[in-house]
Amino acid sequence: MASRPAASTVLSLLLLAAFAASARAATFTITNNCGSTVWPAATPVGGGTQLDPGKSWTVNVPAGTQSGRVWGRTGCSFNGGSGSCQTGDCGGALSCTLSGQPPMTLAEFTIGGSQDFYDISVIDGYNLPMLFSCSTGVTLNCGGSSCPDAYLFPADNTKTHACSGNSNYQVTFCP
């Protein structure tokens, strides 16, 4: 009888190991093509940074991340890790742990197991043109406050797109 619990434990460990091996991080490459500095922010992972024109920032987002957001902050002034931004400010922090204040163009995502979901939203206002793409999905383009690829109001539920799980993503400001 002792072999059954041991076999059950071994099987459970093998299943857990197989799931962990299939759950990988998605890589987000965030690029600033604007003519001025943008301070991108990402929650719940990534935080934030200063991104000069022509530069990129890479963030690894673990599988299982839900309700993630990336946005660009503008008109920022920081001294160390604190300061303020004219758009997208997140409580005066350089490295955001909470969402920013409107207006802000949002890249939203959920990183799942076999399938990810992503969209652009301007429900909270618009502050920067943005491209958002998944390596196995369509490219979303938002060049203004009423862009057709973005959620424009809360009941607008037709703009979420799917791609293969744990794909690579590209967010480009001022494409």
Question: Tokens 């802000």 identify what position?
Answer: 104
Q: What is the pLDDT of residue 104?
A: 96
User: For residue 139, which of 161, 122, 121 has the smallest C-alpha distance?
Assistant: 161
* Neighbour tally for 146: CB within 10 Å: 10
Separation in Å, CA 13 to CA 4, 9, 17, 114, 139 = 14, 6, 6, 21, 39
Nearest-5° Cα angle at 46, 155 to 161 = 35
Whether 18 is in a domain gets the answer: no
**Does residue 12 lie within any of the structural domains?**
no
Provide mean pLDDT across the span 46-62.
Answer: 94
Residue 8 inside a domain? The answer is no
CATH number of the domain to which 69 belongs: 2.60.110.10
Q: What is the dihedral of CA 79, 80, 86, 88, to 10 degrees?
A: -170
Q: Residue 103 has which token pair?
A: 């207006």
What mean pLDDT is predicted for residues 150-171?
88
Q: Is residue 17 part of a domain?
A: no
* Total count of domains within the chain: 1
Asked if residue 119 is part of any domain, the answer here is: yes
Distance between CA atoms of residues 43 and 26, nearest Å: 14
57 or 9, higher pLDDT:
57
Q: What is the pTM of this model?
A: 0.84
Q: Which of 17-26, 27-36, 48-57, 130-139 has the lowest mean pLDDT?
A: 17-26
Looking at the domain assignment, is residue 127 inside a domain?
yes
Residue with tokens 């929650």: 43
pLDDT tens for 78-106 read 998 899 999 999 999 999 998 999 999 99
Range with top average pLDDT, 12-21, 90-99, 159-168: 90-99
- 12 backbone φψ class: left, alpha, beta (φ>0; ψ -120 to 50): alpha
pLDDT band of residue 23 (cuts 50, 70, 90) is: low
pLDDT over 70 at 70, yes or no: yes
- Residue 145 CB neighbours (<10 A): 13
Whether residue 21 has pLDDT greater than 50: no
Tens digits of per-residue pLDDT, 136-150?
999 999 999 999 999
Range(s) of the domain holding residue 65: 25-173
- Do 140 and 131 contact (CB within 8 A), yes or no? yes
Report if residue 5 sits inside a domain.
no
Residue 37, C-beta contacts closer than 8 angstroms, at least 6 positions apart: 50, 51, 52, 53, 76
Q: Which residue has the higher pLDDT, 8 or 156?
A: 156
When the pLDDT of each residue in the chain is averaged and rounded to a whole number, the result is 86
Place 114 in a pLDDT band, splitting at 50, 70 and 90: confident
Q: Please say whether the beta carbons of 62 and 111 come within 8 A.
A: yes
Residue 10 lies in a domain: no
